Amino acid sequence: MNPVVRYCLVCITLGAIFLGCTPPPIKVGFIGGLSGFNSDLGISGRNGVTLAIDTINKKGGIKGRKLELLVRDDRQDPEVAREVFRELVNERVVAVIGPMTSSIAQALIPLANETGILLISPTVSSPDFSGLDDNFIRLTTPNTNEALGLAQESFNQRVVKPCVIDDLSNQAFSKTLLRTYTAELRRLYEADGKEIPVVALPYDPDDSESIQTLLTGIERYQPDLLLFTTNSLDTAVLAQRIRQKGYAMPYLGTGWSMSQTLIENGGHAVEGMVFTVPFNPDSEARSWRDFMELYQRSFGKDANFGSSQGWNAVLVLTEALAKVSGSKLKDAIVNKQYEGLQGSFYIDPFGDPVIPFQRLVIKKGRLIADNQTQP
Amino acid sequence: MFSGVFISIERGINRTVIERNELMAKSIALSIEQQIRDASTLLIHTTSYSGSIDSPDFKAFLESSLIKSGIFESLFIINEDGIVHYSIPYNEIFTGFDFSQQAIIQQVLKRSTTDPVYSAVFISTLTKNPTLMVAVHQSGKVFAGYVNLAWLSRLSDSLSNARLTYLSIVDRYGTTIANTNRAYVEEQYSIANTDLFLWAQKEKQGTKLHTSNSNDNDMLSSVRFVPGPDWYIFISEPTSSAFKATRDVFIIGLLVTTISLIVAAMVGYVVGRDMLQSITVLTEETRQVQAGVYRSIASRSPYIELNRLIDTFNAMSEEVRSREQQYEEANHKLQDALKQKDILLREVHHRVKNNMQIVSSLLALQSDELSCEEDKEYFEHSKLRIQSMAIVHEKIYQTDGVESLPLKAYIQDLVELLQSNNQNYFQYTVSGDELSITLNQAIPCALTVFEACTNAIKYGLNIEKKYLELSINIALREDNQVCIHIKDSGPGFPDGFNPAEINSLGFTLMKGLMEQLKGTISWYTNNGAVVELNFPLHSNNSFSGLDKS
C-alpha cells in the first residue's frame, strides 16, 4: 500500500477513535438534609449546586469533561450521613459538597480526613470547625460572627430579658450560637455596667409536645426578645404561634431560617425579624439577579441563602478542578479570593471564608438590607 | 422473509407499547384532572353559603363534606387580610395565623370570581406529603383546601407492571410531586433542566426515548399534561423491558428458525443417509454388472422412487444376465460349429492332399512304365507339381487356421521336396519375413515358386562341380506387396533370353499364375539367375500382423 495512503488511513482511524471517545465525567457528591422538617436548606442548597453544575456542563464542563452530580440525603442523621459519604467515596467522587448543617459536619469531617475526600460545605457555620487544617472547607463564616451581630442587635434594642429558642435537632449550630451570643451580650452589657440574663428555651422539632412546652416557657418568662435558632418552617410556625398568644417582642433569626419559606409561612408574625448574615437576598449584584431569575424559572421559587451558597460551592470547587485534582484540591482552593454571586469573598488557609456581614430585616414580606440601624 | 416478518412484528409491538404507555399517562392525567376539578367544584359549592360561616352547623357541614370525606386534608377560612379565621382541623393552632404573604393567598384575594387558584405543590409540615392548596375567593373569605397528594404516588401501585413501569408526576417547574420512588417527592427532586422535561413542556403529550438521569438507562417515557395545576404525568419504562416482547419475538423466531434448521438438517441427514445407502448399493451393483456379475438388490429403500429405481435395476440386471446367457450359449454353438468346420476343412485338405499324393504316386508308377526319359521327366515334373500343391493342403491342415498357411515354411518344405527328388545335391537357404498366405494365393504362389526353383535347379547346376546354391528370400513391402526373390548360383539367363521365344512351359505357367495373383514376374542375371515374384498380399495377412524375424 502506498505509504501516504497508509499514513492517511492511520490518521483517520486514530481520529475516529479519539472523536468516538467521550471522556468520563468528573463525579461530584452532594450531601444535605433533603427530607424531614429541616429539608428546606438542604433542598435549596442542592438546587443551587444542580443549577451551577448544569450551567458549567452546558459550557463544556471542566477541561472537556462533564460534571456528574451524585446527590445523597443525610436525613439529618449523622449515621446516615456517614453511610452516604462512604457511598460517595466508593463512587470515586473528587469532592463532596455538603453537608448543610453543623451537626452533620461534625460526623463527616473525621471521615473526610480519613479518606482524603474534600468536604466543601456551603452553609455550616459552627465555629468548632474554624482554624483547623483539615479536609473541610466551608463557604459561610462561623456563626460566632453571626452571634456577635445578633448580640449587638439585642444590645442596641436594650432588651432586658432576651430568650434563645434552642433547636435540639442542630446542637452543633445552636449551642455555639447561643454560647457566643450570650457571652457577647453579657460583655456588651458589662461594658455598660449592667448584667443581662440570657435564657434558652429548648425546642425539639421531632417532639409534637415541644411547641406547647416552649409556649408555656415563654408565658412564664415573658421575654422581651426572641432569638430563633430553628429552621425556616419551624421559625415561621413558632413565630406565628407566639404572636397568636399576643406577644409582640422583637424576633431575631439566623441565616438557617432566613428564606422565602419563613416569610410566606410566617406572615406578619415575622415582620421586623432581624438577621445578621453574610448574605443579602435583595442584592443588586448582576450575577445574583441572573441567578435569582434562573432559579425562579427552574424551581418556581426564590433563590435563598442555601441555594446561593450551593452555587458558590460549585464555583470554588470547579475553579480548583480546572487547575489540579485529588489531594491537591484543598491547596488550590484556600488562600484565594473568589467572585461569588453577591460579591467577592476570601477563603483563608484553614478553609474558612471571610465575608462581610449585613443586617437584614423583613419588611412587608421582603428581606431588606438595613445597615443604617446597625451601629 | 424472516427479516420482513420480524420488522413488521417489531413495529407492531413497539407501537402497541407506546400506545399503551400513552394511554396510561392519558388516563392518569384525566383521572387527576377530574379529581382536582371535582375537589375544586366541591370546594366552591360547599363554601357558597349565604349564612354565617361561623355557625357550628356550617363548620360541621364543611368538616363532614370536605375533610371527613377524605378529599381535603385541611381547610382554612382566611379573611381579606390573609389571617386565618378558622381552620378544620387544628383550629386552635392556626386561627390567627397570617397567610397574607403566601403567593396563592395574594393571588386569590385579587380575584373577583370563584375560579379556583392552585398553589405550587409543597411538602406539608403536618403530613410530610406533597400537598396542593386549592383556594377560592367568595363571600368575602378565602377558602383554602389542602389536598394531600400522597395518593398520586400510590397510583404507581395500580400500574399493572409497577416493577418495570415508573410513574412520575412533576409540577410546572419540574419538581417531583409523585413518583414510584417516594424519596424523590420528599427531596423535591427536580427534572427542570433535563431534555425530557424541556421536551414535555413543549409537546405536552407524546412519547420520547431518552437516557435516565438517575441510572443512565435508556428509557421510553410517555407524557401527558394536566391543565389546571399544570402538572406533567410521565409513564417511563426501561427500553429493555418496554421492548422485551420485541426481543422475545426475535429470540423465539431465531430459536424456531434454528430448531427448524437443525430438524431439517437431521431429517436431511437421515433421508440423505438412506438415499445414499440405496444409491451406494445401486452403484456397487452397477459395477458388478460391468464386471459381469448379475445380482438382484434385495434390500429395500423407504422411498418409493428409490424402490422403483431398484426394481428397474433388478429387471435390467436380470435382462442383461439372461441375454448374456443367451449370447454365451449362442457363442458356444458357434464355436462348436466353427470347430466342426475347421475339422471338416482340415479333413478336406487332408483328403485333398492324400488324393494328390495318390495322384502323384500313380504318376510315379506310370512314369516307371515309360521308356522315354523326356516323358518320364514330364511325369516327374507333374508329380512334383502335384506334390507341391499337396504340401499346400498339408500345411493348411497342419497350421492352426484353415484359410492360410505360413509361406516361408511352405517354401522350405517345397525346396526340400525338390532336393529329395533331385539327383544332384544343392544347397539352399530360405530367408525373409514370416507371413501367411491365403489358400487362394497359396496354390498359384506354390506353383510359381516351384517352377522357378525347378528352373534354377535345372539350369543353374554347375555340371562340372555338381554344385548348386539356391537362395530364396521372402519380403513383405510396406505397400503390402510380397516379393519372393529366387536366386541360384548358376550362370544366369542366357543373353537375349526371352521366355516367349523359347516357348518355356515353366515361364508360361509362372506368368499365368502371377497374372492370377495380379502380380508380376521379373528375371535377370546377377551372379546367377534371379527371378523376382511380386504380388499383393490378400487380407488375413496385413503388414501390421507381420513378424519381422
- Cross-strand pairs, B529: B525
pLDDT at position B427: 87
- The secondary structure of chain B in percent helix, strand, coil, rounded to multiples of 5, reads 55, 20, 25
pLDDT confidence of residue A18 = 47
What angle do helix axes B244-290 and B2-47 make, rounded to 10 degrees?
170
What is the pLDDT at residue A51? 92
Q: Are residues A57 and A94 in the same domain?
A: yes
Is A373 within a domain? Answer: no
Measured distance CA(B514)–CA(B533) in Å, rounded = 8
Q: Which domain holds residue B68?
A: 11-242
Give pLDDT, residue B542.
41
Q: What angle do CA A333, A342, A32 make, to 5 degrees?
A: 60
Lowest mean pLDDT among A172-181, B390-399, B408-417: B390-399
Sequence-ordered list of residues with C-beta below 8 angstroms from that of A286, at least 6 positions apart, any chain: none
Total domains in the fold of chain B: 2
Mean pLDDT of B184-210: 85
Q: Is A122 among the domain residues?
A: yes
Residue A264 contacts B where some CB pair is shorter than 8 Å: yes
In the stretch 292-331 of chain A, residues with CB closer than 8 A to chain B read 298-301
Say yes or no for a CB contact (<8 Å) between B173 and A266.
Answer: no
Q: Which residues pair with B223 in a beta bridge?
A: B206, B234
Nearest to A54 among B120, B173, B193 (CB): B193
For residues A240 and A304, state if they share a domain.
no
Lowest mean pLDDT: which of B117-131, B179-193, B297-311, B451-465? B117-131
Tell me the nearest-neighbour CA distance from B185 into chain A, angstroms: 9
Q: Distances from the Cα of B145 to the Cαs of A28, B39, B133, in angstroms?
A: 41, 9, 6
Interchain CB distance below 8 Å, B102 and A265: yes
Q: Is there a contact between B188 and A268 if contact means CB atoms under 8 Å apart?
A: no
CA pair distance B231, B175, nearest whole angstrom = 10
Interface with B, mutate which of A50, A261, A264, A304 (most B CBs under 10 A):
A264
Which of A228, A257, A277 finishes a domain? A277
Following CA atoms B495, B499, B502, B507 in sequence, which dihedral angle do they give, to the nearest 10 degrees? 130
pLDDT at residue A6, as a whole number: 61
CA distances from B67 to B129, B137, B152 (A): 16, 19, 18
Find out whether B67 and B98 touch, Cβ atoms under 8 Å. Answer: no
Domain holding A49, by residue range, is 26-141+283-356
* B-chain residues near A269 (CB < 8 A): 97-98
pLDDT score at B545: 36
Instruction: Report the C-alpha gap between A257 and A261 in whole angstroms.
Output: 8
Per the domain annotation, does A366 fall within a domain? no
List the single best residue of A237, A240, A247 to mutate versus B (max B Cβ within 10 A). Answer: A240
Question: Do the beta carbons of residue A349 and residue A334 sit within 8 Å?
Answer: yes
CB atoms within 10 A of CB B25: 26
Instruction: Give the number of other Cβ atoms within 10 Å of residue A349's Cβ.
Output: 12
Could A264 and B175 be called an inter-chain contact, meaning their C-beta atoms sit closer than 8 Å? no
A205-209 long-range contacts, Cβ below 8 Å, gap at least 24? A205/A37, A205/A38, A205/A167, A205/A168, A205/A169, A205/A230, A205/A231, A205/A234, A206/A37, A206/A169
Question: Contact at 8 Å (CB) between B273 and B303?
Answer: no
In a domain? residue B184: yes
Cβ-defined contact of B190 to A299 (cutoff 8 Å):
yes
Residue A254 grid cell: 439566623
Given A34, A73, A233, which is nearest B125 (Cβ)? Answer: A233
Report pLDDT digits (tens) over B501-521. 777 778 888 888 899 899 999
Q: Other CB atoms closer than 10 Å to residue B188's CB: what's the count?
A: 26
Cβ distance of A300 and B99 shorter than 8 Å: no
* Residues A77 and A101 reside in one and the same domain: yes
Across the interface, whether the CB atoms of A34 and B190 are under 8 A apart is answered: no
Give the chain B residue whose CA is nearest to the CA of A296.
B173
CA distance B197 to chain A (A): 11
Give the pLDDT score at B543. Answer: 38
| Radius of gyration for the alpha carbons in chain A, expressed in angstroms and rounded | 23
Widest pairwise Cα distance in chain B? 201
Segment (H or E) for B287: helix B244-290
Residue pLDDT, tens place only, B1-57: 666 766 777 777 778 878 888 888 888 888 888 888 888 888 888 777 666 777 788
Contacts of B97 in chain A (CB under 8 A): 240, 244, 267, 269
For residue A189, being part of any structural domain is answered with yes
Region B219-233: mean pLDDT is: 86
**B234 Cβ contact list (under 8 Å, min separation 6):** B25, B166, B167, B168, B169, B170, B196, B200, B221, B222, B223
Task: Tell me the pLDDT band of B163, cut-offs 50, 70 and 90.
Answer: low
B176: helix, coil or strand?
strand
Task: Concatenate the DSSP letters of all residues of B354-373 into one string.
Answer: HHHHHHHHHHHHHHHH---H
Q: Which of residues 167-196 of A touch B (CB under 8 A)?
A: none
By the 8 A CB rule, do A202 and A228 touch?
Answer: no
Cβ–Cβ below 8 Å for B101 and A263: yes
The distance of B46 to chain A (nearest Cα, Å) reads 26
Q: Please give the tally of structural domains in chain A.
A: 2
d(CA A121, CA A104): 10
Residue B391: is its pLDDT beyond 50? yes
Least confidently predicted of A80-89, A330-339, B90-99, B121-130: B121-130
Instruction: Assess whether A334 and A289 both reside in one domain.
Output: yes
- A212 vs B211, higher pLDDT: A212
- The residues with which B178 forms a beta bridge, in sequence order, are B169
Question: Is residue B85 within 8 angstroms of chain A, CB to CB?
Answer: no
CB contact under 8 A, A51 and B193: yes
- For residue B546, what pLDDT is reported? 39
> Residue B139: inside a domain, yes or no?
yes
pTM listed for this prediction: 0.59
CA dist B312 and B414 (Å) reads 65
Tell me whether residues B82 and A365 touch, CB distance under 8 A.
no
B187/A34 Cβ within 8 A: yes
Instruction: Assess if residue A363 is contained within a domain.
Output: no
How much is the average pLDDT of B199-228?
A: 84
The residue from B242, B260, B293 where one domain ends is B242
* Amino acid identity, position A138: R
Show which of A217, A244, A277 is a domain's final residue.
A277
Mean pLDDT of chain B: 81
Shortest CB distance from A267 goes to which of B82, B171, B173? B82
Cβ contact, residue pair A365, B175, below 8 Å: no
Which uninterrupted H or E stretch holds B130?
strand B130-138
Q: Do A189 and A216 have their domain in common?
A: yes
Please indicate whether, in this complex, the C-beta atoms of A43 and B188 are within 8 angstroms of each other.
yes
By the CB < 8 Å criterion, does A52 face chain B? no
b/e burial code for range B312-327 (CB count within 10 A of at least 16 → b):
ebbeebeeebeeeeee
- Residue to mutate among B81, B98, B133, with most A CBs inside 10 A, is B98
Cell numbers at A200, concatenated: 434558652
- Tell me the chain B residues in contact with residue A268 when contact means C-beta distances shorter than 8 Å: 98, 100-101
Mutate which: B101, B124, B230, B231, vs A, most A CBs within 10 A: B101
Apex CA B324: angle with CA B323 and CA B327, to 5°? 85
Whether residue A9 lies inside any domain: the answer is: no
Out of B242, B267, B292, pick the residue that ends a domain: B242
Cite the DSSP H helix spans in B48-170: 56-62, 91-94, 103-109, 150-158
Tell me whether the omega of the peptide bond preceding residue A223 falls within 30 degrees of 0, making it cis: no
A365 contacts B101? CB cut-off 8 A: yes
**Environment class of residue B502 by beta-carbon count within 10 Å: exposed (0-12), middle (13-18) or buried (19+)?**
exposed
Q: Does B80 fall in a domain?
A: yes
Backbone φ and ψ of A63, nearest 5°: 50, 40
- B contact residues 88-127, partner A, Cβ 8 Å cutoff: 93, 95-103, 120, 123, 125
At B540 the pLDDT is 57
| Least confident interval from A11-25, B172-186, B435-449 | A11-25
Three-state SS at B187:
coil
For residue A216, the domain's CATH number is 3.40.50.2300
Confidence of residue B547 (pLDDT cuts 50, 70, 90): very low
Collapsing DSSP to helix, strand or coil, B42 comes out as helix
Are residues A132 and A249 both part of a single domain?
no
B308 assigned to some structural domain: no
Q: Which residues of B, range 120-159, sit inside 8 Å of A by Cβ?
A: 120, 123, 125, 128
A335 and A287 together in one domain = yes
Residue B538 lies in a domain: yes
- Decide if B489 is inside a domain: yes
How far apart, in whole angstroms, are the C-alpha atoms of residue B386 and residue B362?
11
- What was the pLDDT predicted at B393? 82
Kindly report the nearest CA distance between residue A291 and chain B, in angstroms. Answer: 14
Note whether B190 contacts A365, CB cutoff 8 Å: no
Q: How far is A335 from chain B (nearest CA, A)?
A: 34
**Lowest mean per-residue pLDDT among A368-372, B296-300, B347-351:** A368-372
The whole-angstrom distance between A65's CA and the closest CA on chain B is 17
B198 interface with A at CB cutoff 8 Å: no
Question: Which among B99, B173, B187 has CB closest to A267?
Answer: B99
Q: Are residues A83 and A102 in the same domain?
A: yes
Whether a cis peptide bond, with omega within 30° of 0, leads into B89 is yes
For residue B211, the SS3 value is strand
- How many CB atoms are closer than 10 A to CB B286? 13
Contact between A75 and A35 under an 8 Å Cβ cutoff? The reply is: yes
Cell numbers given for B260: 427448524
Question: Is residue B333 in some structural domain?
Answer: no
Instruction: Note which residues in 263-302 of chain B have CB less than 8 A from chain A.
Output: none
Which residues have C-beta within 8 Å of that of residue A118, sequence separation ≥ 6? A94, A95, A96, A112, A135, A136, A137, A329, A330, A333
Whether A301 and B120 lie within 8 Å, measured CB to CB: yes
* B102-115 average pLDDT score: 84
Partner-chain contact A39 B171, CB within 8 Å: no
CA distances from A224 to A160, A231, B35, B138 (A): 7, 21, 49, 40
Pairwise CB contact (< 8 Å): B123 & A269:
no
A160 & A240 share domain:
yes
The residue of chain A with its CA nearest to that of B170 is: A299
Inter-chain touch A50–B193, beta carbons under 8 Å: yes
Average pLDDT over residues B63-73: 79
Backbone φ and ψ of A109, nearest 5°: -60, -45
A chain contacts of residue B93, beta-carbon cutoff 8 Å: 241
- Beta strand extents in chain A (DSSP E only): 26-32, 67-73, 95-97, 118-121, 136-138, 162-167, 199-203, 225-228, 251-253, 274-277, 336-340, 343-347, 353-354, 358-363, 366-369
Q: Looking at this predicted complex, what is its ipTM?
A: 0.72
pLDDT tens digit string along A268-297?
899 999 998 888 888 888 999 999 999 988
- Is B44 a domain residue? yes
**C-beta separation of A260 from A40 below 8 A:** no
Q: What is the CATH classification number for the domain harbouring B422?
A: 3.30.565.10
pLDDT for res A257:
86
The CATH number that applies at residue B54 is 3.30.450.20
Whose CA is closest to B228, among B28, B35, B23? B35
| Predicted local confidence at residue B544, as pLDDT | 36
Q: Which of A35, A50, A235 to probe by mutation at the B interface, max B CB count within 10 Å? A: A35
Question: What is the full per-residue pLDDT of chain A (375 aa) written as tens digits?
Answer: 555 556 555 555 555 444 445 678 899 999 998 887 667 788 889 999 999 999 999 888 888 889 999 999 988 889 999 999 999 999 899 999 989 888 899 899 999 999 989 999 998 877 778 777 788 998 888 878 889 999 999 999 899 999 999 998 878 788 888 999 999 999 999 988 888 999 999 999 888 888 899 999 999 999 999 999 998 888 998 999 999 888 999 999 998 888 888 888 898 899 999 998 888 888 888 999 999 999 988 888 888 888 999 999 999 999 998 887 666 888 888 888 998 898 888 888 888 888 888 889 999 888 888 765 443
Domain end point (choices B195, B227, B242): B242
One domain for residues A163 and A212: yes
Which among A248, A277, A306 is the end of a domain? A277
Residue pairs spanning A and B at CB distance below 8 A: 78
CA dihedral A140, A143, A148, A149 (to 10 degrees): 50
Name the residue among B70, B100, B72 with its Cα closest to residue B87.
B72
CA distance B84 to B87: 7
Q: Are B123 and B129 in contact (CB under 8 A)?
A: yes
